[in-house]
Structure 1
Amino acid sequence: MFPLFVLRSGPTTPSQTRSAIAPQPIGLTSASVRRRLSDQVPLAVANRHVHRHREHLYNKKVADSSRPTVLITGASFGIGQELARIFSRDGCNLVLVARNADKLRQLAAELEKKDGTRSLILASDLSAPGSAAYVHDQTTRADIDVDVLVNNAGFGQFGLFAGNDLEECMQQIQLNVTTLTHLTRLYLPEMLERKRGRILNVASTAAFQAGPLMAVYYATKAYVLHFSEAIANELQGTGVTVTCLCPGPTVTEFHKRANMLSSRMLQFGAMDARTVAEDGYRALMAGKPVVISGLRNWMLAQSVRFSPRRMVTAVARKFQEVRNR
């Protein structure tokens, strides 16, 4: 197993934590199986497109298979960062993936000081083709069994689709859909062989309707929701669960990148990232297939199912529009 940890005090022991995450433990995945999976996408492809930076913040002489390992994408801010803090609090080792190496280092240092958590940092642009294969190759080389996969990384564009930057549109699909699917496909067979594991895919309440002025983003989140629900059904009785977290408006750096800080959406009861992360964590541990964070968001998502789609789309646009100043 991944030698990331140092002993920590607290009410939850490592064995209790792993038991909660993986109720049906089995032997380690064979190296041959891992090699076959990592070879599915040549790393030479990734080498041309992905800037990588790998850091080990752990003692290579220490290994403890009783501690679960959680891989989190988009861990440098927002919901991903808060999920890292929650898993660290509960005695997990971490693989932190994001573009910003400095922020990952700061987070890893914070969690090591607070909880004694050890982390592997992978600074990688997951919107680049081949990035998922790179991440999987790095965990394989480090002999890591990923017990929990958190597909959190994502971004959106705000504005009329015809005027959006085409390259950013394609990067958005690559990150929100392709990389998420690829990572899931690479790590899922290993979980199935061990007969234990959990996957948390972060979608959005945007998944429940079309979204003018964020057309591609809404469409990608609909994919994440439907994909997650489908494989959650396929995995029943295997010891592996899939949970889809659907937050509503949440105050994070996401909105700065999407250029929508003045959107009406953020004025409508935006939640904080910590609350959303706690909701997702609880649902993941309970094995729920879907969780919508916040009562208001849940009510809105349910109302969409019984409303005329044309009306829902028009209302969605009104909420996306920038306020007159």
Structure 2
Amino acid sequence: MKEIALITGASGGLGADIATLFAKDGIDLILVARSKEKLEQRSQELSKYGVQVDILVSDLAKPGAAEELFNQVKGRQLDYLVNNAGVGLYGKFTETDLQTEMDMLYLNINSLTHLTKLVVKEMTARGKGRILNVASTAAFQPGPLMAVYYASKAYVLSFSEAIENELNGTGVTVSTLCPGPTRTEFSNRANLEKSKLFDGGTMASIDVAKAGYVGFRNGKSIIIPGTQNKVLATSIRFMPRKIVTSVVRRMQKEK
């Protein structure tokens, strides 16, 4: 029986690049995103690798979407789960849109947690499986001007590390991918064109995907692509919290 990977946020960017890496390894795919048109295009592109590609249109920012998605794939053995779907929002908390932030929290936290819960139970029953949760280097510190987004990614990292420990010895691994600024559609959707954050250098999506994919397949706990990102994530632990917050604010302030 061929292995199957379910990938959320798979219509473009990092999710699409990770899907390509799975396809090249002959692993069948279930791709999830909001855009049917983009998913169909991605399916056609990946079919050349001789794998089965199924698409599921779902908006995981909506309550109940994760369970509905899981019910659609119930009965199929999921060997890999990649929780990649996520969004951000740039701006002062007093000025940003509340509903957008509530949707962001539901997508970045609730649906990720819900889908992980449903899938991991089946994986542990079989004694085999790998889960990759996509966080960010934002997970390592508070993020003025993206306060809610940074906090949501801190949750993803903390949650993933905790359950990875709980699952030790079960045959199921949980990895967390923590990329820094990456060239994808994410920055446009998050209104980051005003921020200086992406002026300091970015990584190509495919390079982040490769680092995440290799680390994940090897069962690595935390994956931080790029030397600069590793240094920043590590050094923050030794700095006073107020200084960290001030540094991040300067990195993200408007141009």
Partner of residue 215, structure 1: 147
| Residues 208-264 of structure 1: per-residue CA shift (max 9 Å, x gap) | 000000000000000000000001111111100000000000011011111112421
Q: CA deviation at 1:124?
A: 0.9
Among the aligned pairs, what percent are the same residue? Answer: 53
Number of the residue aligned with 2:5: 70
SS in 1 for 2:192: coil
Q: For 2:51, which of 114, 117, 127 is the aligned residue?
A: 117
- Once residues 123 and 151 of structure 1 are traced to their aligned partners in structure 2, the CA distance between those partners, rounded to angstroms, is 15
Q: Does 1:246 align with 2:183?
A: no
The answer to whether the 8 A contact 1:203-1:246 is kept is yes
SS of 2:29's partner is: strand
Q: Which has the larger radius of gyration?
A: 1
Tell me whether 1:161 sits opposite 2:93 in the alignment.
yes
1: CA distance between counterparts of 2:244 and 2:15?
Answer: 29
- 2:104 alignment counterpart: 172
Q: Decide whether the 8 Å contact of 1:251 with 1:271 is kept in 2.
A: yes
Matched, 1:85 2:17: no
Distance 1:130 1:120 in 2: 21
Structure 2: tracts of 5 or more residues without a match: none
Partners in 2 of 1:89 and 1:205 — Cα distance? 28
1:268 Cα offset (Å): 1.2
Question: Which secondary structure does the structure 2 equivalent of 1:206 belong to?
Answer: helix
Q: Which residue of 2 aligns with 1:106?
A: 41
The 8 Å contact of residues 76 and 107 in structure 1, kept in 2 or not, is answered as yes
Structure 1 residue runs of 4 or more that deviate by more than 3 Å after TM superposition = none
Q: Which amino acid aligns with 2:143?
A: G
For residues 160-188 of structure 1, give each alpha carbon's deviation from its aligned partner in whole angstroms, at most 9, with x where no partner exists.
Answer: 11111111110000000000000000000
Secondary structure, aligned partner of 2:30: strand
- The one-letter code sitting in structure 2 at the alignment partner of 1:122 is L
Amino acid at match of 2:149: Y
Structure 1 CA distance for aligned equivalents of residues 250 and 30 of structure 2: 39
> What is the CA distance between 1:152 and its match in structure 2?
0.3
Distance 1:104 1:318 in 2: 37
Per-residue deviation, 1:106:
0.5
Q: Give the count of matched residue pairs.
A: 255
Helix, strand or coil at the partner of 1:144: coil
Q: Which residue of structure 2 lines up, in the alignment, with residue 31 of structure 1?
A: none
| Structure 1: gaps spanning 5 or more residues | 1-64
After TM superposition, list the pairs within 5 Å mapping 1:42-57 onto structure 2: none
1:11 is matched with none
The separation in 2 between residues aligned to 1:71 and 1:173, in whole angstroms, is 21
TM-score w.r.t. the length of structure 1 is 0.78
The aligned amino acid for 1:103 is: K
Matched residue of 1:161: which SS? coil
Q: 1 CA distance for matches of 2:137 and 2:93?
A: 20
Q: Give me the whole-angstrom Cα distance separating, in 2, the residues matched to 1:116 and 1:107.
A: 14
Distance in structure 1 (CA, Å) of the matches to 2:58 and 2:95? 28
1:288 is aligned, of 211, 220, 245, to 220
Which of 70, 74, 93 does residue 136 from structure 1 map onto? 70
**TM-score (norm. length: structure 2):** 0.99
Take 1:253 and 1:129, find their aligned partners in 2: how far apart are those partners? 24
Is the aligned partner of 1:235 residue 2:170? Answer: no
CA positional deviation for 1:150: 0.2
Is the aligned partner of 1:198 residue 2:169? Answer: no
- Secondary structure of the structure 2 residue equivalent to 1:160: coil
Hey, what's the Cα distance between the residues in 1 that align with 2:117 and 2:211? 25
Amino acid at match of 1:132: A
